[in-house]
Amino acid sequence: DVLLQPSPALTWRTTGGILDFYIFLGPDPKSVVRQYLDVVGFPFMPPYWGLGFHLCRWGYSSTDITRQVVANMTAARFPLDVQWNDLDYADAKRDFTFNKKSFKDYPEMVQEFHSRGLRYIMIVDAGISSSGPPGTYKPYDEGLKRGVFIRNTTGQPLIGKVWPGPTAFPDFTNPKTHEWWYDMVKDFHEQVPFDGMWLDMNEPSNFVEGSQDGCPNNNLEHPPYVPGVFGGRLQAGTICASSQQYLSSHYNLHSLYGLTEAIASHSALLRIRGKRPFIISRSTFAGHGRYAGHWTGDVGSDWEQLYYSIPEVLLFNLFGVPLVGADVCGFLGNTSEELCVRWTQLGAFYPFMRNHNDHGTRPQEPYSFSPPAQAAMRNALRLRYSLLPFLYTLFHRAHSAGETVARPLFLEFPTDPNTWAVDRQLLWGGGLLVTPVLEAGQTKVSGYFPAGTWYSLTGVGAPAWVLLPAPLDTINVHIRAGHILPLQEPAFSTAQSRGKGMALVVALTLNGFARGDLFWDDGESWETFERGDYTEILFLASNVSTGS
């Protein structure tokens, strides 16, 4: 446990182990983030299409339904870059399979999406089904032969239970597992040419406590001190702490499971596709941002979760995982029209934007709502797409210089005490301030504006809290004086928008100066920056009267 004390101080409780402490001296918050990333690694550069709008649902139960969703988005004139499927696609919910009835033309569907400039991603769970007869399920048969699964204390694969039933868990600390994983991903990609991977249940999650056979009674399962974990026991919702992995016991490696799976998946996709991998993972650890992004899990469809998503997104940017977002409109339970509009407006400023919800709940695709709500959502998405060159440049700065994409106000204004506790607003870079509505029935919203001039319909000068008009069709976005933002005419996908004309928004200071930059490459090739295959433009503007 690590507890924050008011002194200020930290209390660190541990039952042992070798502890390495890194002290980051700053002197300012930005420097601390950079120094931390110097240790754990800078974030990966996502493909340009990954910054577009993503759409998913648990409940798109056939290729016909999935196609219809895409058709509905097109008919309603909403941008869409990436269509996803949850476990519905899989045969008996098993990884690297697809249902030959409801998804019989699954490969053809993905090819159709590609022909329209769309991308496709499907879910991959950590557990590998172990219950089929020998010779019927290659991922388990081959994994058993190669010895890639986590073992119990008797040396046999530990068997837990998740969506497909009894399952074994790959040991991603084992180099053999990486090769096996690559082979499984490659085999499936040769059937279904997906563009990215969605890693779920990779804490690893388990529907039984420890394993189907329980866990031994030993010091690893019952240590002298148990931190405040889910269920109050180390085995609750996961696998036995004393199970054995290639590097050590699971007790020592549990928190690294999602990271090691992300590393293996990143490597596999790069080898298979030869382009920048796109991976979103539920479980993370220090250094995760080098390989993958993160979504914040199965959040409720309520106003409280809408608010909580802001500090979550900001924290993960400080952790070096800038590609992050919550399920737009919420996942668990029924959303409302007003909530979904407001969530779409905020979600347009998540670095990773995906609308995703649970089966059996109210549909929440943007086209599912009234014409006024659709118009508000469409405007929010078009605003995001117009800002993608700016957002992409921010990701380049994160990848190349260890900066944040979305950032809390205190990171940019550390000497202003009023910014220290602001968690209902966020910045993109240092120049774009977003003030969303986070409560029901509101037509105004209060936001803090640090010193300087902030341009929207009215300028804001001295540092102040300002009450802004915020009808349902409006999200307040302000540009900080001194910044130049590159924009592009929005379209219905990034493939289309990248061919449109560009423009600059120039926000001059009172002294008549502004600067900005643009990073531009082909949007998906590996290491374009490292190879010098890119264009970077510095913009400078001044309006200085020379007198007569």
Among residues 116, 149, 113, 146, the alpha carbon closest in space to that of 130 is found at 149
DSSP string over 275-335: B---EEES---TTGGGT-EEE--S-BSSHHHHHHHHHHHHHHHHTT--SEE-EET-SBS--
Exposed/middle/buried for 539, CB within 10 Å: 0-12, 13-18, 19+? Answer: middle
CA gap 239, 148 in Å, rounded: 16
Beta-sheet pairing, 327-328 with 353-355: parallel
Is-contact 505 481, C-beta < 8 A?
Answer: no
DSSP string over 1-46: -EEEETTTEEEE--SS----------SSHHHHHHHHHHHH-PPP--
DSSP string over 144-213: HHHT-B-B-TTSSBPEEEETTEEEE-B-TTSHHHHHHHHHHHHHHHHHS--SEEEEESTTT--SSSB-TT
Is-contact 164 92, C-beta < 8 A?
Answer: yes
The number of helix segments (H) and strand segments (E) in the chain equals 14, 25
Residues acting as catalytic residues: 200, 203
Is-contact 313 13, C-beta < 8 A?
Answer: no
279: which 2 tokens? 């991976």
